[in-house]
Amino acid sequence: MNANNAKRKTILPLHIDTTSFTGGQTQNSVWRRLNKRQLPIFVLLTILFFSLFLNVIQHNRRNAPTFQVLNSHDALPPIPLTEYHHAIVVAGHAIYTGPDDRQQLTDDRNWILEPYQQGGQVNTFIQHIQKGIDVLKQDKESVLIFSGGETRPKAGPRSEAFSYWSIAQSLVHQDDSISAEIKASINQRMITEEYAKDSHENLLFSICRFSEMTGNYPNQISVVGFEFKRKRFEDIHRYSIGYPAEQFHYIGIDPTSEDPARAEGELNNSVRPFEKDLYGCHGTLKQKKMNRNPFRRRHPYAASCPILAPLLNYCPSNNALYHGPLPWTF
Ligand SMILES: *[C@@H]1O[C@H](CO)[C@@H](O)[C@H](O)[C@H]1NC(C)=O
């Protein structure tokens, strides 16, 4: 009996333990046990779950921009213009809003013009378009890109590029020197780049647009524009994107009217600012692009030309030249 009692007494503490689930006072002893024995494990588990949770969040964050940038769900038809290697770029300067009628093209009232463009420049714009078509006719491996965005509030959401393209359509249509077959080929090789807001973007965006439609980066680029902008295109815009000088051709056509302030204005308002800001992403050049973007358009080229994304997004504070990988320096 004594032995039995002794056994019961030793069991007793275990029974007390089971009452601790209901007893208010004995809960303290559970916490005390947890504190003493399990708290380190509890703390470690908490840290583990918290760091797993953070990992999941960071992983999602890292993936999110990739999905947004690549638009991978947005299927595209096959590339239409393979086997083309020469990009001809006609840079837009204004927007034509008139009818599809050759007599009307040279009327200033059918264009949205800056004050300094009135009285003569419109003829030069048409010469630029015609020159682009002439080069296109000469080289069967070329694609003609009209470049320029929806830059003028008064023109509504019409792009410079589209208005130039529509003029090109009527110039080709009315050209009696070429067969219907050649006209069809030419029409197929004329495309638009509808986001550029300055000359730097005319060049860079057109290269990506060329790649969107051909699957290639051009091994030859011809830019048609004003002769007084030649130095800027050759020495600044071409240089800033590291495109080889020997593969770059500039075709300049100036207005016939003399304007003594033209060269100085180009130097003051464009050459000097771009020399100090090669990528046009600071100060006055940045502001100019904002003023030319009344419809708040943003280009899609970082998604369609991912290899150019670092260059498209490049904006150094010290005006350093871009040294990242480029598809034309491989
Ligand atoms: C160019 O800048 C110089 C010096 O700042 C100034 O005297 C001249 O009037 C400017 N010319 C034009 C056409 O803006």
| Residue range 94-118: mean pLDDT, rounded | 94
Reported as a pLDDT band with limits 50, 70 and 90, residue 203 is very high
Task: Kindly give the distance from the C-alpha atom of residue 198 to the centroid of ligand 1, in angstroms, as a whole number.
Answer: 21
Share of the chain above pLDDT 90, in %: 73
CB 135 within 8 A of CB 142: yes
Reported as a pLDDT band with limits 50, 70 and 90, residue 112 is very high
Reported as a pLDDT band with limits 50, 70 and 90, residue 294 is very high
How does strand 142-147 pair with strand 86-91?
parallel
Task: Kindly give the distance from the C-alpha atom of residue 269 to the centroid of ligand 1, in angstroms, as a whole number.
Answer: 9
Residue of 74 and 26 predicted with greater confidence: 74
The closest residue, in CA terms, to atom 5 on ligand 1 is 268
Angle between helices 180-188 and 160-173 (to 10 degrees): 170
The closest residue, in CA terms, to atom 6 on ligand 1 is 268
Task: Kindly give the distance from the C-alpha atom of residue 20 to the centroid of ligand 1, in angstroms, as a whole number.
Answer: 91
pLDDT at 7 over 70: no
Gyration radius (Cα) of the chain, Å: 34
Burial of residue 159, with CB atoms counted within 10 A of its CB: 0-12 exposed, 13-18 middle, 19 or more buried: buried
pLDDT tens digit sequence for 37-70: 778 888 888 888 888 888 776 766 555 555 455 6
Nearest of 296, 327, 64, 312 to residue 211 by alpha carbon: 327
pLDDT at 32 over 50: yes
Tell me the C-alpha distance between 261 and 276, whole Å.
22
The closest residue, in CA terms, to atom 13 on ligand 1 is 265
CB 194 within 8 A of CB 60: no
Q: Which atom of ligand 1 is least distant from the CA of 267?
A: 1
**CA dist list (Å): 234 to 29, 174, 199, 257, 285:** 83, 33, 11, 24, 18
Tell me the C-alpha distance between 151 and 154, whole Å.
9
The closest residue, in CA terms, to atom 2 on ligand 1 is 268
Task: Kindly give the distance from the C-alpha atom of residue 261 to the centroid of ligand 1, in angstroms, as a whole number.
Answer: 9
Q: Which residues pair with 147 in a beta bridge?
A: 91, 193
- Ligand 1 pocket (Cβ < 6 Å) reads 261, 264-265, 268
Task: Kindly give the distance from the C-alpha atom of residue 283 to the centroid of ligand 1, in angstroms, as a whole number.
Answer: 18
pLDDT at 258 over 90: no
Reported as a pLDDT band with limits 50, 70 and 90, residue 282 is very high
* DSSP states along 72-128: TTS--PPPS-TT--EEEEEE--SEE-S-S-GGGTT-GGGEE--GGGTTTHHHHHHHH
For 167-205, b/e burial (b = at least 16 CB within 10 A) is: bbebbbeeeeeeeeeeeeebeebbbbbbbbbbbbbbbbb
Question: Model's pTM, two decimal places?
Answer: 0.80
Domains and CATH numbers, the chain: 86-312 (3.40.50.620)
Q: Report pLDDT for 325.
A: 94
CB 292 within 8 A of CB 195: no
CB 288 within 8 A of CB 277: no
Q: Report pLDDT for 155.
A: 97
Q: What mean pLDDT, rounded, does the chain reach? A: 88
Hey, which of 228, 267, 268, 269 would you mutate to test ligand 1's pocket, going by the most ligand atoms within 8 Å of its Cβ?
268
The closest residue, in CA terms, to atom 3 on ligand 1 is 268
**CA dist list (Å): 319 to 234, 242, 243:** 18, 14, 18
Distance of CA 17 to the CA centre of its chain: 70
N residues, the chain: 330
HEC sequence for 141-189: CEEEEEECCCCCHHHCCCCHHHHHHHHHHHHHHCCCCCCHHHHHHHHHC
